[in-house]
Structure 1
Amino acid sequence: MKSAPLAPRTAPKKRRSTADRLNEALLALAGGHATVTRHSEAGWASITFAGTRHRVELEFAGDAAVEAGECFLAFLPEHEFAIPGQLVADAAVVEVDHSAHPPLLRVTCELLLLEES
């Protein structure tokens, strides 16, 4: 009795987390000129809302990247994010470190994401 050949196993697709989606949205806003160097998140809740607070550090290296980083600084606070199931209630730049030689811009931002119901 012959058995049917087994289909090759494929690794299950990794489900993208809210942090992954937020990083992707921030990198898109940066025009692909940034690197996320650190990302931390903590749960957040009020009487009426639940969500997460994120602290993200990005690095823009090189002349073109620093120019894109300056645009990022200007646009982040008012940017309309499209993250499924999440509402970005607050996005703020909390720290900026800039050096001219070599051209480098480091940005730390904090974002509050609320779960949409």
Structure 2
Amino acid sequence: MAEPFHAQHAGLCTIRRDGPVLRLVGDIEQENWREVADRIAAEIRDGVSRLDLTQVRFFGAAGVRALMKGCEARPGGVTLHLSCAPVVFRALQICGLLTMGGLVVEAQADEQAPPPEAGR
């Protein structure tokens, strides 16, 4: 198991590897997105195939940037599985990334955002 993520803004987000799973806990925002992206990329190059984002509390535009930049490290043809907190799932949904090739995105089943109602 890799050491926890220790960076300038480590208090915002901790990252731990558990075999093929990379677990992120906390907030991904403007102050730490580059460090998070670099760690995601390094771990993907080293064989990570699943990202556990179920304990991410804040995930806005900077979180999307971190994920997209980190995913650039995926070798061709490799599928990356994401387990997401509702806030992450919703951000990816808004950005149209739920159907991006090479990603399988799953929300926590009991907290997945409902589809928009017709007529609203």
Whether TM-score is above 0.5 comes out as: no
TM-score after normalising by structure 2: 0.30
Structure number, greater radius of gyration: 1
Whose strand fraction is larger, Structure 1's or Structure 2's?
1
Taking structure 1 as the reference length, the TM-score comes to 0.31
Structure with more contact order per residue of length (Cα contacts < 8 Å, sep ≥ 6): 1
